[in-house]
Structure 1
Protein backbone atom coordinates (compact mmCIF):
# COMPACT_ATOMS: atom_id res chain seq x y z
CA UNK A 1 0.00 0.00 0.00
CA UNK A 2 1.72 3.19 -1.17
CA UNK A 3 2.38 6.26 0.91
CA UNK A 4 2.13 9.54 -0.98
CA UNK A 5 4.74 11.95 0.43
CA UNK A 6 4.65 15.68 -0.20
CA UNK A 7 6.30 18.84 1.02
CA UNK A 8 3.97 20.70 3.39
CA UNK A 9 3.73 24.27 2.11
CA UNK A 10 0.28 25.61 2.98
CA UNK A 11 -0.99 26.62 6.41
CA UNK A 12 -3.54 23.79 6.20
CA UNK A 13 -0.78 21.25 5.54
CA UNK A 14 1.25 22.66 8.44
CA UNK A 15 -1.79 22.17 10.68
CA UNK A 16 -1.72 18.48 9.67
CA UNK A 17 2.02 18.34 10.44
CA UNK A 18 1.49 19.77 13.93
CA UNK A 19 -1.57 17.58 14.60
CA UNK A 20 0.38 14.43 13.70
CA UNK A 21 3.35 15.49 15.83
CA UNK A 22 0.98 16.23 18.74
CA UNK A 23 -0.69 12.85 18.43
CA UNK A 24 2.47 10.77 17.98
CA UNK A 25 5.06 12.52 20.14
CA UNK A 26 2.86 13.92 22.92
CA UNK A 27 0.03 11.40 23.28
CA UNK A 28 1.78 8.20 22.17
CA UNK A 29 5.33 8.84 23.40
CA UNK A 30 4.65 11.26 26.28
CA UNK A 31 7.14 13.94 25.21
CA UNK A 32 6.86 17.54 26.35
CA UNK A 33 4.50 19.43 24.06
CA UNK A 34 6.72 22.47 23.65
CA UNK A 35 9.67 20.50 22.30
CA UNK A 36 7.86 18.31 19.79
CA UNK A 37 5.10 20.41 18.26
CA UNK A 38 6.60 23.82 17.57
CA UNK A 39 10.15 24.97 18.01
CA UNK A 40 12.35 27.71 16.52
CA UNK A 41 13.49 25.49 13.63
CA UNK A 42 9.96 24.93 12.32
CA UNK A 43 9.67 28.37 10.72
CA UNK A 44 13.19 28.78 9.34
CA UNK A 45 13.43 29.17 5.55
CA UNK A 46 15.89 26.26 5.44
CA UNK A 47 13.40 23.87 7.08
CA UNK A 48 11.29 21.53 4.96
CA UNK A 49 8.28 19.69 6.40
CA UNK A 50 6.97 16.48 4.85
CA UNK A 51 3.57 14.79 5.11
CA UNK A 52 2.80 11.19 4.19
CA UNK A 53 -0.73 10.24 3.15
CA UNK A 54 -2.01 6.67 3.09
CA UNK A 55 -3.22 6.30 -0.51
CA UNK A 56 -5.77 3.70 0.57
CA UNK A 57 -7.50 5.75 3.30
CA UNK A 58 -6.58 9.23 2.00
CA UNK A 59 -5.47 10.16 5.54
CA UNK A 60 -2.21 11.76 6.65
CA UNK A 61 -0.35 9.16 8.69
CA UNK A 62 3.35 10.13 8.62
CA UNK A 63 5.45 13.22 9.16
CA UNK A 64 9.09 14.32 9.01
CA UNK A 65 11.17 17.49 9.08
CA UNK A 66 14.43 18.34 7.32
CA UNK A 67 16.84 21.01 8.50
CA UNK A 68 19.05 21.95 5.57
CA UNK A 69 22.63 23.06 6.12
CA UNK A 70 23.67 23.82 2.56
CA UNK A 71 26.99 25.36 3.63
CA UNK A 72 28.06 22.01 5.09
CA UNK A 73 26.08 19.99 2.52
CA UNK A 74 24.11 18.24 5.25
CA UNK A 75 20.41 17.47 5.74
CA UNK A 76 19.27 16.66 9.28
CA UNK A 77 16.00 14.74 9.53
CA UNK A 78 13.87 14.93 12.64
CA UNK A 79 10.35 14.58 13.94
CA UNK A 80 10.10 11.44 11.79
CA UNK A 81 7.01 9.48 12.81
CA UNK A 82 4.21 7.21 11.64
CA UNK A 83 0.89 6.79 13.48
CA UNK A 84 0.98 3.70 15.70
CA UNK A 85 -1.94 2.03 13.93
CA UNK A 86 -0.12 2.42 10.59
CA UNK A 87 3.21 0.94 11.61
CA UNK A 88 4.25 -2.33 10.01
CA UNK A 89 2.94 -1.25 6.60
CA UNK A 90 6.32 -0.09 5.24
CA UNK A 91 5.26 3.57 5.55
CA UNK A 92 8.40 4.49 7.50
CA UNK A 93 10.69 3.18 4.76
CA UNK A 94 8.58 4.85 2.07
CA UNK A 95 8.72 8.14 3.98
CA UNK A 96 12.50 7.99 4.37
CA UNK A 97 13.01 7.02 0.72
CA UNK A 98 10.79 9.88 -0.45
CA UNK A 99 12.42 12.57 1.67
CA UNK A 100 15.93 11.37 0.81
CA UNK A 101 14.99 11.36 -2.90
CA UNK A 102 13.49 14.84 -2.67
CA UNK A 103 16.48 16.34 -0.87
CA UNK A 104 18.92 14.54 -3.18
CA UNK A 105 17.20 15.92 -6.29
CA UNK A 106 16.79 19.49 -5.08
CA UNK A 107 19.87 20.14 -2.93
CA UNK A 108 23.56 19.30 -3.09
CA UNK A 109 24.02 17.43 0.19
CA UNK A 110 26.62 14.80 0.95
CA UNK A 111 25.07 13.36 4.11
CA UNK A 112 21.76 12.72 5.81
CA UNK A 113 21.82 12.91 9.61
CA UNK A 114 19.22 12.04 12.24
CA UNK A 115 18.82 11.48 15.95
CA UNK A 116 17.25 8.05 16.43
CA UNK A 117 15.56 6.64 19.46
CA UNK A 118 17.77 3.71 20.44
CA UNK A 119 14.83 1.34 20.02
CA UNK A 120 14.57 2.43 16.35
CA UNK A 121 18.30 2.19 15.57
CA UNK A 122 17.96 -1.18 13.80
CA UNK A 123 15.28 0.22 11.53
CA UNK A 124 17.50 3.11 10.43
CA UNK A 125 20.42 0.72 9.93
CA UNK A 126 18.23 -1.17 7.44
CA UNK A 127 17.71 2.18 5.69
CA UNK A 128 21.49 2.56 5.31
CA UNK A 129 22.31 4.73 8.34
CA UNK A 130 25.15 4.02 10.77
CA UNK A 131 25.57 5.19 14.35
CA UNK A 132 27.96 8.11 14.83
CA UNK A 133 27.59 8.89 18.54
CA UNK A 134 27.28 7.35 21.93
CA UNK A 135 23.81 6.90 23.38
CA UNK A 136 22.41 10.00 25.08
CA UNK A 137 19.15 10.85 26.85
CA UNK A 138 16.57 13.20 25.37
CA UNK A 139 13.47 13.67 27.51
CA UNK A 140 14.19 10.39 29.28
CA UNK A 141 14.51 8.35 26.07
CA UNK A 142 17.80 6.91 24.81
CA UNK A 143 18.89 8.32 21.44
CA UNK A 144 21.93 8.20 19.18
CA UNK A 145 23.06 10.19 16.14
CA UNK A 146 23.09 8.34 12.83
CA UNK A 147 24.42 9.29 9.38
CA UNK A 148 23.97 8.11 5.81
CA UNK A 149 26.27 9.30 3.06
CA UNK A 150 24.51 10.31 -0.14
CA UNK A 151 25.40 8.92 -3.54
CA UNK A 152 26.75 12.00 -5.34
Structure 2
Protein backbone atom coordinates (compact mmCIF):
# COMPACT_ATOMS: atom_id res chain seq x y z
CA UNK A 1 0.00 0.00 0.00
CA UNK A 2 3.00 2.27 0.44
CA UNK A 3 1.53 4.32 3.27
CA UNK A 4 4.00 5.85 5.68
CA UNK A 5 3.35 6.28 9.40
CA UNK A 6 5.44 8.82 11.29
CA UNK A 7 5.40 10.80 14.49
CA UNK A 8 5.65 14.57 14.15
CA UNK A 9 9.38 14.52 14.91
CA UNK A 10 9.99 11.86 12.26
CA UNK A 11 8.42 13.95 9.48
CA UNK A 12 10.83 15.78 7.20
CA UNK A 13 10.19 19.49 6.78
CA UNK A 14 9.13 18.80 3.19
CA UNK A 15 6.66 16.10 4.27
CA UNK A 16 5.23 18.41 6.93
CA UNK A 17 4.92 21.27 4.45
CA UNK A 18 3.17 19.02 1.90
CA UNK A 19 0.80 17.60 4.53
CA UNK A 20 -0.20 21.06 5.77
CA UNK A 21 -0.57 22.30 2.17
CA UNK A 22 -2.88 19.43 1.21
CA UNK A 23 -4.94 19.70 4.41
CA UNK A 24 -5.39 23.42 3.76
CA UNK A 25 -6.25 22.82 0.09
CA UNK A 26 -8.95 20.27 1.01
CA UNK A 27 -10.41 21.48 4.30
CA UNK A 28 -10.06 25.26 3.91
CA UNK A 29 -10.02 26.02 0.18
CA UNK A 30 -12.00 23.17 -1.45
CA UNK A 31 -14.63 23.16 1.30
CA UNK A 32 -14.62 26.97 1.49
CA UNK A 33 -14.26 26.78 5.24
CA UNK A 34 -11.90 29.21 6.96
CA UNK A 35 -10.77 27.71 10.26
CA UNK A 36 -7.47 27.25 12.15
CA UNK A 37 -6.04 24.24 10.26
CA UNK A 38 -2.78 24.27 12.22
CA UNK A 39 -4.26 23.53 15.63
CA UNK A 40 -1.30 22.44 17.78
CA UNK A 41 -2.38 18.78 17.82
CA UNK A 42 0.02 17.61 15.11
CA UNK A 43 2.97 17.55 17.50
CA UNK A 44 1.38 14.72 19.53
CA UNK A 45 -0.14 12.85 16.58
CA UNK A 46 0.85 9.99 14.32
CA UNK A 47 0.67 10.91 10.64
CA UNK A 48 -0.34 8.27 8.10
CA UNK A 49 0.06 9.29 4.50
CA UNK A 50 0.75 8.26 0.93
CA UNK A 51 2.92 10.30 -1.41
CA UNK A 52 3.11 10.22 -5.17
CA UNK A 53 5.47 12.39 -7.20
CA UNK A 54 6.29 14.45 -4.11
CA UNK A 55 2.62 15.19 -3.36
CA UNK A 56 0.51 13.99 -0.45
CA UNK A 57 -2.37 12.11 -2.09
CA UNK A 58 -3.93 10.57 1.05
CA UNK A 59 -3.56 11.49 4.71
CA UNK A 60 -4.96 11.09 8.19
CA UNK A 61 -3.71 11.70 11.69
CA UNK A 62 -4.08 9.53 14.76
CA UNK A 63 -4.46 11.52 17.97
CA UNK A 64 -3.57 9.73 21.22
CA UNK A 65 -6.09 9.69 24.08
CA UNK A 66 -6.38 13.08 25.76
CA UNK A 67 -5.41 15.18 22.73
CA UNK A 68 -8.90 15.81 21.27
CA UNK A 69 -11.03 13.48 23.40
CA UNK A 70 -10.50 11.17 26.36
CA UNK A 71 -10.43 8.42 23.70
CA UNK A 72 -7.93 8.02 20.89
CA UNK A 73 -9.19 9.69 17.73
CA UNK A 74 -8.62 9.89 13.99
CA UNK A 75 -8.90 13.13 12.11
CA UNK A 76 -8.10 15.15 8.99
CA UNK A 77 -8.86 12.17 6.74
CA UNK A 78 -8.37 13.23 3.13
CA UNK A 79 -7.70 12.00 -0.37
CA UNK A 80 -6.49 14.52 -2.93
CA UNK A 81 -9.25 15.25 -5.45
CA UNK A 82 -7.48 13.69 -8.45
CA UNK A 83 -7.05 10.40 -6.56
CA UNK A 84 -10.55 9.91 -5.17
CA UNK A 85 -12.52 6.81 -6.12
CA UNK A 86 -9.49 4.49 -5.87
CA UNK A 87 -10.26 3.11 -2.39
CA UNK A 88 -7.30 5.00 -0.86
CA UNK A 89 -9.37 6.24 2.08
CA UNK A 90 -10.55 2.69 2.79
CA UNK A 91 -7.01 1.27 2.62
CA UNK A 92 -5.70 4.09 4.81
CA UNK A 93 -8.42 3.63 7.44
CA UNK A 94 -7.79 -0.14 7.52
CA UNK A 95 -4.09 0.46 8.08
CA UNK A 96 -4.75 3.08 10.75
CA UNK A 97 -7.20 0.88 12.66
CA UNK A 98 -4.82 -2.07 12.47
CA UNK A 99 -1.99 0.06 13.88
CA UNK A 100 -4.25 1.43 16.62
CA UNK A 101 -5.27 -2.02 17.85
CA UNK A 102 -2.02 -3.95 17.31
CA UNK A 103 0.63 -1.35 18.16
CA UNK A 104 -1.08 1.25 20.33
CA UNK A 105 -3.28 -1.37 22.06
CA UNK A 106 -6.30 0.94 21.97
CA UNK A 107 -9.80 -0.50 21.62
CA UNK A 108 -11.91 2.65 21.39
CA UNK A 109 -11.71 5.32 18.69
CA UNK A 110 -13.80 8.51 18.59
CA UNK A 111 -14.17 10.60 15.47
CA UNK A 112 -15.91 13.78 14.42
CA UNK A 113 -17.11 12.94 10.91
CA UNK A 114 -18.69 14.97 8.19
CA UNK A 115 -22.28 13.73 8.11
CA UNK A 116 -22.22 12.68 4.46
CA UNK A 117 -19.44 10.18 5.32
CA UNK A 118 -21.50 8.35 7.95
CA UNK A 119 -21.88 5.17 5.86
CA UNK A 120 -18.15 5.12 5.05
CA UNK A 121 -17.24 5.13 8.75
CA UNK A 122 -20.05 2.70 9.64
CA UNK A 123 -18.37 0.23 7.27
CA UNK A 124 -15.47 0.06 9.77
CA UNK A 125 -17.79 -0.46 12.75
CA UNK A 126 -18.18 3.14 13.94
CA UNK A 127 -21.54 4.00 15.48
CA UNK A 128 -23.19 7.42 15.65
CA UNK A 129 -23.20 8.86 19.18
CA UNK A 130 -24.51 12.38 18.55
CA UNK A 131 -27.12 14.32 16.65
CA UNK A 132 -26.03 16.11 13.49
CA UNK A 133 -24.46 19.48 14.32
CA UNK A 134 -22.68 22.23 12.43
CA UNK A 135 -18.92 22.52 12.79
CA UNK A 136 -17.50 25.43 10.80
CA UNK A 137 -20.74 25.50 8.80
CA UNK A 138 -20.50 21.81 7.77
CA UNK A 139 -22.88 19.10 9.14
CA UNK A 140 -20.95 16.68 11.40
CA UNK A 141 -21.65 13.75 13.70
CA UNK A 142 -19.62 12.16 16.46
CA UNK A 143 -18.97 8.45 16.03
CA UNK A 144 -17.38 5.78 18.23
CA UNK A 145 -15.71 2.48 17.45
CA UNK A 146 -15.28 -0.13 20.18
CA UNK A 147 -13.30 -3.28 19.45
Q: Which runs of 5 or more residues in structure 2 are unaligned?
A: none
SS at match of 1:143: strand
Alignment: residue pair count: 141
Match of 2:107 in 1: 110
* Counterpart position of 1:65: 61
Unaligned runs of 5+ in 1: none
Which residue of 2 is the match for residue 80 of structure 1? 77
With the length of structure 2 as denominator, give the TM-score of the two structures.
0.85
* Distance in 2, Cα, partners of 1:104 & 1:73: 17
Q: Distance in 2 between matches of 1:97 and 1:53?
A: 17
* 1:35 alignment partner in structure 2: 36
Partner residue of 1:22 out of 18, 21, 24: 24
Shift of 1:53: 3.1
For residues 7 and 42 of structure 1, the distance between their equivalents in structure 2, rounded to whole angstroms, comes to 13
- List structure 1 runs of 4+ shifted beyond 3 angstroms: none
Give the helix-richer structure, 1 or 2. 1
1:144 paired to 2:141: yes
Give the RMSD, CA atoms, in angstroms.
2.1
